[in-house]
Amino acid sequence: MTRQAMALSETQTADAMLRARAQRVVPGGMWGHLNAARLPEGYPQFFASAEGCRVRDVDGREYIDFMCSWGPVLLGHKHPEVQAAAEAQAALGDCLNGPGEVMVELAEDFVAMVPHADWAMFQKNGGDATTACVTIARAGTGRRKVLVAKGSYHGALPWCSPSVAGVTSEDRAHLLHFEYNDIASLQAAVAEAGKDLAAILVTGFRHDIARDLEMPTREFAAAARAVCDATDAALILDEVRTGLRLDVRGSWEALGVRPDLAAWSKAIANGYALAAITGNDKFREAATKVFVTGSFWCGAVAMAAARTTLRIARETDVPSHIRSMGLRLREGLTSLANQHGIAIRQSGPPQMPLMLFDADPEVKKGRAFCSAALRHGAFFHPVHNMFLSSAHQAADIDAALEAASHGFKAVRALS
């Protein structure tokens, strides 16, 4: 971390030089949520390597990582057992003329681990999984309307993209919206859908960007389930972001609510590109009927990585560990904020935390905090939920809190 201290000229860093090259050959220098222009000052665009809970940028600066590749890294970067499983499979083959035995084993693993699941299918992107769930729900019900919460992210395809650039109104023709955790608004959307209700699609918790995270209430989850039971519509749980972090059995299991279909991705293969759908027998025939496929969807290496990731997540109770580490971070941040007399709000499950500053409409405090913490070796995010991994240990959290103390100083210096 000594190199952090080096006063690299802003235009001479490897990151700056790569950004200049990228500007020429990549529209805007980078696409989507990974564009560093959306991040606070000083954040790198380009990364060189990672190990455990530490990620290193192209200028050799190392950070304790609280983004975990925006979710995929559950067990820490380059987890030895996951890597060994992936390498053993790679030595045999990856993308062949069809699936390997590992596809059947992984489907069996999901069915054994996830109570609602009678079957599983695999894809590459989270958006592949949410889209296929909607398609299966429509095929199974013969209906069209899909209810989604306002502001919820379900992927970047035209039907669900948060942007309207290049999207037609027909792409979203059969979406109806409700307010997360608001039963009355859900019932209103159900009434509007009438006999054409195919599905309710809902995330494990409310994790919209730049607002306090919100856990689902037991009543809301039960109401969503009751509507689907009464109408034979599909309850689709979007576990792309939450999967394996809240509860390996499914994020709503503790609420006593099981979906008909669930979309998984991100963490299920600890960074290898994989998505999954789990479903119950009510929607098995529909899942057989739809045509969903992809050139790399039988890739065996990601499936081998997923088997090991799922096993470790179950056997070592990863959700409990990352929850306790998240609580340690949360308590430490509360304590530091109090010491500095700065009002903050922390929300969400501790394993996917968010800290927002009071009276910070333009995120100036959040950005100043993150920039200063980054300079001292902690990679936080100002407005997006963060992610813990099982590689985070108490000493890492404490080191990150030390970096955070510089963040709070920077916020105090703003006023």
Segment lying near its own copies (by CB under 8 A), choices 135-143, 335-343, 351-359, 369-377: 135-143
Inter-CA distances, 55 with 65, 182, 351, 391, Å: 6, 39, 19, 12
Residue from 4, 42, 144, 183 in contact with its own copies (CB under 8 A): 144
Touching its own copies, residues 349-408 (CB under 8 A)? 379
Taking the complex as a whole, how short is the minimal distance between the CB of residue 167 and its own copies, in angstroms?
7
When the beta carbons of 72 and 326 are compared against its own copies, the nearer one is 72
Taking the complex as a whole, how short is the minimal distance between the CB of residue 97 and its own copies, in angstroms?
5
> E strands along 8-83, which residues?
47-51, 54-57, 62-65
Residue with tokens 């299918």, as numbered in its chain:
121
Touching its own copies, residues 53-112 (CB under 8 A)? 55, 58, 65, 67, 69-73, 77-78, 83, 90, 92-101, 103-104, 107-108, 110-111
111: tokens are: 């069915």
Taking the complex as a whole, how short is the minimal distance between the CB of residue 305 and its own copies, in angstroms?
10
When the beta carbons of 64 and 342 are compared against its own copies, the nearer one is 64
Touching its own copies, residues 217-276 (CB under 8 A)? 240, 265-266, 271-273
Taking the complex as a whole, how short is the minimal distance between the CB of residue 113 and its own copies, in angstroms?
12
* Complete DSSP assignment for 327-384: HHHHHHHHHHHHHHT--EEEES-TTS-EEEESS-TT-HHHHHHHHHHHHTTEE--SSS
The interface mask with its own copies, positions 172-201, x = CB under 8 A, is -xx---------------------------
302: tokens are: 């990601």
Taking the complex as a whole, how short is the minimal distance between the CB of residue 31 and its own copies, in angstroms?
6
When the beta carbons of 2 and 168 are compared against its own copies, the nearer one is 168
Touching its own copies, residues 36-55 (CB under 8 A)? 36, 44-50, 55
Residue from 2, 9, 170, 359 in contact with its own copies (CB under 8 A): 170
When the beta carbons of 287 and 404 are compared against its own copies, the nearer one is 287
Taking the complex as a whole, how short is the minimal distance between the CB of residue 16 and its own copies, in angstroms?
12
Residues 6+ apart with CB under 8 A from 122: 103, 106, 107, 274, 275, 276, 277, 297, 298, 303
When the beta carbons of 221 and 235 are compared against its own copies, the nearer one is 235
* Distance from chain centroid for Cα 265: 8
User: How many angstroms separate the CA atoms of 279 and 110, rounded?
Assistant: 10
Touching its own copies, residues 150-169 (CB under 8 A)? 156-159, 161-163, 165-168
Q: Select from 281, 288, 268 the least CA-distant residue to 123.
A: 268
When the beta carbons of 8 and 18 are compared against its own copies, the nearer one is 18
Taking the complex as a whole, how short is the minimal distance between the CB of residue 101 and its own copies, in angstroms?
6
32 binds its own copies (CB under 8 A): yes
Cβ(199)–Cβ(232) below 8 Å = no
Cβ(141)–Cβ(194) below 8 Å = no
The interface mask with its own copies, positions 11-30, x = CB under 8 A, is ---x---x--xx-xxxxx-x
User: How many angstroms separate the CA atoms of 80 and 414, rounded?
Assistant: 43
Touching its own copies, residues 317-356 (CB under 8 A)? none
When the beta carbons of 299 and 366 are compared against its own copies, the nearer one is 299
Using CB atoms within 10 Å of the CB of residue 397, give its burial: 0 to 12 exposed, 13 to 18 middle, 19+ buried. buried
Cβ(106)–Cβ(306) below 8 Å = yes
Segment lying near its own copies (by CB under 8 A), choices 201-209, 287-295, 318-326, 402-410: 287-295
Binding residues with its own copies: total (CB under 8 A): 109
Q: Select from 41, 44, 38, 66 the least CA-distant residue to 53.
A: 66
Count of Cβ atoms closer than 10 Å to residue 48 Cβ: 15
